[in-house]
């Protein structure tokens, strides 16, 4: 699906590292998902996962540094949604984020965002540095419980 002609809608934008910047991506993305007939449950999941990943990039990656930006690339077709988010931070290792469902972590707020992203997307990949994440959702496919490092 790398052929751009196969994508019905694309968006490439650089966001400032400030609270609320994610709406510049989420509003048009959600509109396009509706236009292309995505089911409400899929739209809900993509919305939550994309917002969480963008906010993580702004808050944790760029640490709200006004000199840094978050690049977001979105591609939508009738069958697949692909969202790439790249921040200018030093990155992190997603494999060392503790499982927030463990008994001793149930009341700790950190780590829930990654769990949420993984639960709604069919593909989640982080680059080796940990400052780029690729989210993909295939229409009608439930979470594949897959997280990979490129």
pLDDT (0 to 100) of residue 5: 55
Q: How far is CA 97 from the centre of its chain?
A: 17
Nearest to 114 by CA among 101, 127, 128: 101
Report residue 21 as tokens: 């910047």
Residue 3: CB atoms within 10 A of its CB come to 6
Instruction: Look up the CATH number of the domain holding residue 46.
Output: 3.30.565.10
pLDDT (0 to 100) of residue 125: 97
Q: How many domains does the chain have?
A: 1
Which structural domain range is residue 103 located in? 4-149
Strand partners, 148: 125
Alpha-carbon gap, residue 56 to 19, rounded angstroms: 11
Strands 123-126 and 132-138: antiparallel
pLDDT (0 to 100) of residue 123: 96
Predicted confidence (pLDDT) per residue in 115-125, tens digit: 889 999 999 99
Alpha-carbon gap, residue 42 to 53, rounded angstroms: 16
Alpha-carbon gap, residue 115 to 113, rounded angstroms: 5
Q: What is the pLDDT along the chain (150 residues), one digit of tens a residue?
A: 455 558 999 999 999 999 999 999 999 999 999 999 999 999 999 999 999 999 999 999 999 999 999 999 999 999 999 999 999 999 998 887 766 556 555 565 566 688 889 999 999 999 999 999 999 999 988 765 544 444
């Amino acid at each position: 699906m790398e052929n751009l002609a196969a994508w019905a809608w694309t968006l490439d934008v650089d966001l400032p590292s400030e609270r609320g910047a994610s709406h510049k991506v989420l509003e048009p993305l959600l509109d396009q998902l509706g236009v292309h007939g995505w089911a409400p449950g899929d739209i809900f999941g993509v919305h939550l996962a994309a917002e969480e990943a963008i906010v993580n990039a702004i808050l944790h990656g760029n640490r709200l540094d006004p000199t840094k930006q978050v690049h977001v690339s979105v591609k939508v077709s009738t069958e697949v949604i692909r969202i790439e988010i790249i921040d200018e931070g030093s990155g992190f290792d997603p494999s060392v984020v503790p499982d927030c469902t463990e008994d001793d972590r149930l009341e700790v707020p950190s780590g829930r965002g990654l769990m949420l992203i993984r639960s709604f997307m069919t593909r989640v990949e982080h680059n080796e540095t940990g400052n780029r994440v690729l989210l993909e959702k295939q229409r009608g496919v439930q979470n594949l419980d897959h997280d990979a490092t490129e």
